[in-house]
Amino acid sequence: MQKAGAFYEPVKMRGHFMNDLIKIKTVEGKETVNARDLHEFLEVQSKFADWFKNRVEKYDFFKDIDFLTLSKNLENGGRTKDYFISIEMAKELSMVENNQKGRVARKYFIECEKRLKKVFEIPQTYSKALLLAGKLAEENERQAKQIEDQAPKVDFYDKIIDSNTAINMQEVAGVLNIKGYGRNNLFKFLRESGILNFKNIPYRQFIEAGYFEVKETTRTIRGEDVVILVTLASQKGVDFIKRKVEEIDK
């Protein structure tokens, strides 16, 4: 069985990495990917329109936030729509496809994000400079408030300081030590609360909020290495779960 990264590594070493695999295009000031290109690369068996509609509805993607829709004229006189999706959406679509091409694409988009974050746009006008200054001030205020809000939680977080960034649900159950909420019951509770899907994977908004991470891991099943997705909770996520359980038990 081919390892998950076997195809990805040669691609990564090419000189023009950003444009070799799936082209990144700036649309309305945002870095995007043509959804049709991703559909083709992932070798999805269903028709593009059905695939895209299903993924948007199932994973709660939003027009003008996660993707942009552009219409164009065809030579035969008709019209077609192109969907340009954010790199974050492209990464998530690749992940949920759960196949070799999906893993390759996901790693590619992670690398794209890293490279794009290194690019800092210097304001070219006074108004843009003011706008940037305002955003930085808002971010500083947000971080200051976050530090203030988290101060009472120090004792609680001390219990999981050795977990570094995230821990699995078995460890979450041990940290919380709430009667009746072992690993399996925690998964059930989070599914019923609309936080995890039926595969125990967090919905997008809870990942973006910093409560959870989804990692790939390899397990040997019947003599074969199988890549599976594992849900991990951050320190912030453990506190989030704790508060949710306490709300139910009040």
For residue range 6-50, what is the model confidence (pLDDT) as tens digits? 333 333 433 334 345 788 888 888 889 999 999 999 999 999 999
**Range with the poorest average pLDDT among 101-105, 110-114, 217-221:** 217-221
Q: What angle do CA 160, 163, 169 make, to 5 degrees?
A: 85
Is the domain of 103 the same as that of 172? no
Is the domain of 17 the same as that of 111? yes
SS3 29: coil
Is the domain of 189 the same as that of 112? no
Average pLDDT score over residue span 214-228: 76
Is the domain of 109 the same as that of 170? no
Place of tokens 């397990």: 219
Is the domain of 173 the same as that of 72? no
In tens, the pLDDT along 128-138 reads: 667 766 666 77
- Domain endpoint, select from 57, 86, 117: 117
Domain presence at residue 190: yes
Is the domain of 168 the same as that of 72? no
Domain presence at residue 147: no
pLDDT at 112: 84
Residue 221 has pLDDT above 70, yes or no: no
Average pLDDT score over residue span 130-147: 64
Between β-strands 212-221 and 224-234, what pairing exists: parallel, antiparallel or unpaired? antiparallel
Domain presence at residue 131: no
Is the domain of 94 the same as that of 162? no
Check which CATH number belongs to the domain holding 61 and give it: 3.10.260
Instruction: Using a pLDDT cut of 70, give the percent of the chain over it.
Output: 71
- Domain endpoint, select from 66, 84, 117: 117
- Domain endpoint, select from 117, 141, 174: 117
The winner for highest mean pLDDT among 3-17, 64-78, 113-127 is 64-78
Give the list of residues 6+ apart from residue 85 with CB closer than 8 angstroms, or none: 32, 33, 34, 35, 38, 61, 66, 67, 68, 93
Domain presence at residue 186: yes
Q: What's the length of the chain?
A: 250
Is the domain of 107 the same as that of 15? yes
Provide the domain count of the chain.
Answer: 2
Domain presence at residue 139: no
For residues 85 and 41, the answer to whether their CB atoms sit within 8 Å is no
For residues 25 and 33, the answer to whether their CB atoms sit within 8 Å is yes
pTM of the model: 0.43
Q: Which domain holds residue 54?
A: 8-117
Domain presence at residue 173: yes
